[in-house]
Amino acid sequence: MAKKKIEKNIFDAIILDLKIPKFDGYQLLKYLNENKVNLRILIITSRMQIYYEDIKNSHREIEENKLLNLADTILIKPFKLIELIKKLSI
């Protein structure tokens, strides 16, 4: 459902939680990249380790970190609404 709405490109930005029901947020990031979707991407997550990519990471973690680089910004949960508003205003 999200893909179909994104294909219509009626949005200015996407606020994406990496853990969404029935779909992996990383899959959506990959889809956006492969289809050259030109939208601002703001990721919200509780996963602090996304900033640390080292040689001990598994192949999946490295691929996920590469996908995260496609985002315009990342907000770590919990955050205040004003932080979200500021990020979207930039």
Containing domain of residue 40, as a range? Answer: 23-85
DSSP letter at 55 equals T
pTM for the full predicted model: 0.71
Does residue 2 belong to any structural domain of this protein?
A: no
Does residue 41 belong to any structural domain of this protein?
A: yes
Does residue 79 belong to any structural domain of this protein?
A: yes
Per-residue burial over 4-39, b if 16 or more Cβ lie within 10 Å, else e, is: eebeeeeeeebebebeeeeeebbebbbebeeeebee
Does residue 53 belong to any structural domain of this protein?
A: yes
Number of domains in the chain: 1
Q: What is the mean pLDDT of each run of 10 residues along the chain (90 residues)?
A: 72 84 80 84 73 50 70 86 88
Note the pLDDT tens digit of each residue in 60-76: 665 667 667 888 888 88
Strand order in the sheet with 40-45: 13-17, 40-45, 73-76
DSSP letter at 47 equals -
Does residue 18 belong to any structural domain of this protein?
A: no
